[in-house]
Amino acid sequence: MLNDIKKEASDRMQKSIDVLKTTLTKIRTGRASTALLDHLTVEYYGSEVPLSQAAQITVEDARTISITAWDKNMIGPIEKAILKSDLGLNPNTAGTIIRIIMPPLTEQRRRDLVKVVKGEAETAKVAVRAVRRDANQDIKDLVKEKLISTDDEKRGEQDIQKLTDQFVAKIDEVAALKEKELMSM
């Protein structure tokens, strides 16, 4: 029973880290990356679809993303989707190819993005702590139902705390890597 609680807590904490990593890929660093456009959707024949299903997205060089629409009629909607996004990017169209040139980041913008990274990391830590709280409550429920002893309860809570500490350290690691990436020229 305790092992099931630990396993579930570990899985949920890992999901928090996965969400953090996904969120951090959307924070641009001045380098071109197709992951920057992963969350964009475009209207394709009456329904919203991910941009990757309406076009081929490639990185031409360190600062240029190239988008080739599968259908010529999709050039306009793809441009609109990019402009409406919160990324602050300007698409340049040349025939059937849309190019996005990543503007260099100013020092102040880099600092602002580091603050955003720290905020996202703190959100992930809060999520991990919520998982810890839920797991500890599950352990207390087992004690109330007299399924485990109080010694098992203490051991279980210690294990959950160790797990929490490990995942908080991983979150700090992921955030530090992104901050280093943002601050490097």
Per-residue pLDDT of the chain (185 residues; tens, 9 = 90+): 888 999 999 999 999 999 999 888 877 666 777 877 877 889 877 888 888 888 899 998 888 899 998 888 888 889 988 888 767 778 888 888 999 888 777 888 788 888 889 999 999 999 999 999 999 999 999 999 988 898 999 999 999 999 999 999 999 999 999 998 888 75
Among candidate residues 120, 115, 117, 152, the one with its CA nearest the CA of residue 136: 152
In order of start, what are the domains of the chain with their CATH numbers? 2-25+106-183 (1.10.132.20), 34-101 (3.30.1360.40)
Q: At 104, which amino acid appears?
A: P
The pLDDT of residue 74 is 87
H/E run at residue 163:
helix 150-183
pLDDT at 24: 86
Alpha carbons within 13 angstroms on the beta-carbon side of residue 38 total 13
Q: How far apart are CA 164 and CA 169, in angstroms?
A: 9
User: Coil, helix or strand for 153?
Assistant: helix
